[in-house]
Amino acid sequence: MKKFKLVMKKYLLLLGMSLAVLSAFAQEENSVDSETTKKLTKAQKAEQRRIEAEETAKMVDWMVQNKKFVLEANTISNQSGERYQVSSRINFIAIDSNKITIQLASMSGIGGYNGMGGITTDGTISLFKINKLGKKSNGYTIQVLCMTAIGSYDIFFSVSPNSNADATIGGNWGGKLNYHGFLIPLEKSKIFKGMSI
């Protein structure tokens, strides 16, 4: 009986030590796997961001070259630099081939010529000139001359490959108005147009 108890103690001791070694090995392996997974995840995320940036740049190029885009502005500024947060659904410049719509509206949506606290005008583009920027030619400046029912406008766009865009509108009134936002494909834009003059 004593021999049996002694053998059982040895067996249990060996079993306990084996389990401890296996547990330590498993933890070490899990930490290696965890680090590898983190590195792999970082690399995958970086690759995903690179692919998305390339796709966005191609889309921006297509919009500019085909003259089919909307600059949806989330900020408007005047020539003295004062900035105002606005709704991008109702403050925009839309270009479709040789047609243009310029809209300025208030979030209150009260009054104005367009029924949304601002003004909306449609026109025809007489000049659309594209210049590529940067060593990799991945940004653009666009000069647009257009004629609308309320006058002629010079519009200068600055567009980055990630679709950030600014536009400065100068007209026959002598001031300047700046739109800051993103270039969106015409067919994907969810803008709301007011009454045109």
Q: Mean pLDDT in runs of 10 for the chain (197 residues)?
A: 55 56 53 63 82 91 96 94 93 97 87 89 97 80 95 95 96 86 95 92
Give pLDDT, residue 94: 98
Q: Which string of DSSP letters, residue by residue, matches the chain?
A: -HHHHHHHHHHHHHHHHHHHHHHHHHHHHHHHHHHHHHHHHHHHHHHHHHHHHHHHHHHHHHHHHHTEEEEEEEEEEETT--EEE--TTTSEEEEETTEEEEEE--TT--SBTTSSSBEEEEEEEEEEEEEEETTTT-EEEEEEEEEETTEEEEEEEEE-TTSEEEEEEEETTS-EEEEEEEEEEGGG---------
Give pLDDT, residue 112: 84
